[in-house]
Structure 1
Amino acid sequence: MEFISIPFIIFGLVIFFSAFFTVKQQTSVVIERFGKFTSIRNSGLQMKVPIIDRVAGRVNLRIQQLDVIIETQTKDNVFVKMKVSVQFKVIQEKVYEAFYKLEYPHDQITAYVFDVVRAEVPKLILDDVFVRKDDIAIAVKRELNEAMTTYGYDIINTLVTDIDPDIQVKNAMNRINAAEREKVAAEYESEAQRIRIVAKAKAEAESKRLQGQGIADQRREIARGLVESVNQLNEVGINSQEASALIVVTQHYDTLHAIGADTHSNLILLPNSPQAATDMLNNMVASFAASNQIGEAMKTTKPKPKDKHLGSGNDVPPAQG
Structure 2
Amino acid sequence: MYIVLGVIVIFIISLFFTVKQQTSVIIERFGKFNSIRNSGLQLKIPIIDRVAGRVNLRIQQLDVIIETKTKDNVFVKLKVSVQFKVLQDKVYEAFYKLEYPHDQITSYVFDVVRAEVPKLKLDDVFERKDDIAIAVKRELNEAMSTYGYDIINTLITDIDPDIQVKNAMNRINAADREKTAAEYEAEASRIRIVAKAKAEAESKRLQGQGIADQRREIARGLVESVDVLNKVGINSQEASALIVVTQHYDTLQSIGSDTNSNLILLPNSPQAGSDMLNNMVASFTASNQVGEAMKKAAKKKSSEDDQEA
- TM-score, normalising length: structure 1: 0.86
Give the 3 Å change call, closer, same or farther, for CA 135–301 of structure 1 in structure 2.
farther
* The one of 106, 112, 116 aligned to 1:120: 116
Partner of 1:36: 32
Deviation at 1:130, TM superposition (A): 1.1
Aligned partner of 2:178: which letter? E
Is 1:99 aligned to residue 95 of structure 2? yes
* The one of 227, 232, 246 aligned to 1:231: 227
RMSD: 2.3
Distance 2:262 2:127 in 1: 71
Deviation at 1:171, TM superposition (A): 2.2
Partner of 1:314: none
1:91-240 mapped onto 2 (5 Å cutoff): 91-240=87-236
Distance 2:212 2:289 in 1: 31
Distance 1:95 1:51 in 2: 24
Distance 2:95 2:258 in 1: 107
The worse-fitting range, judged by mean Cα deviation, of 24-33 and 238-247 is 238-247
Give the 3 Å change call, closer, same or farther, for CA 175–304 of structure 1 in structure 2.
farther
Aligned partner of 1:96: which letter? Y
Give the 3 Å change call, closer, same or farther, for CA 184–11 of structure 1 in structure 2.
same
Aligned partner of 1:62: which letter? R
Deviation at 1:62, TM superposition (A): 0.1
Q: What are the superposed Cα offsets for residues 258-284 of structure 1, whole Å, 9 maximum, x if unpaired? A: 445557766454433112333322332
Give the 3 Å change call, closer, same or farther, for CA 298–82 of structure 1 in structure 2.
farther
Give the 3 Å change call, closer, same or farther, for CA 53–189 of structure 1 in structure 2.
same
User: Counting helix residues as a fraction of each chain, which structure ranks higher?
Assistant: 2
Aligned partner of 1:200: which letter? K
Deviation at 1:87, TM superposition (A): 0.3
Distance 1:259 1:66 in 2: 97
> Aligned residue pairs: how many?
305
* The one of 2, 7, 14 aligned to 1:6: 2
Runs of 5+ consecutive residues of structure 1 not aligned to the other structure: 311-321
Give the 3 Å change call, closer, same or farther, for CA 136–258 of structure 1 in structure 2.
farther
Deviation at 1:207, TM superposition (A): 2.5
Distance 1:160 1:275 in 2: 104
Give the 3 Å change call, closer, same or farther, for CA 85–294 of structure 1 in structure 2.
farther
Distance 1:263 1:129 in 2: 83
- TM-score, normalising length: structure 2: 0.89
Give the 3 Å change call, closer, same or farther, for CA 274–173 of structure 1 in structure 2.
same
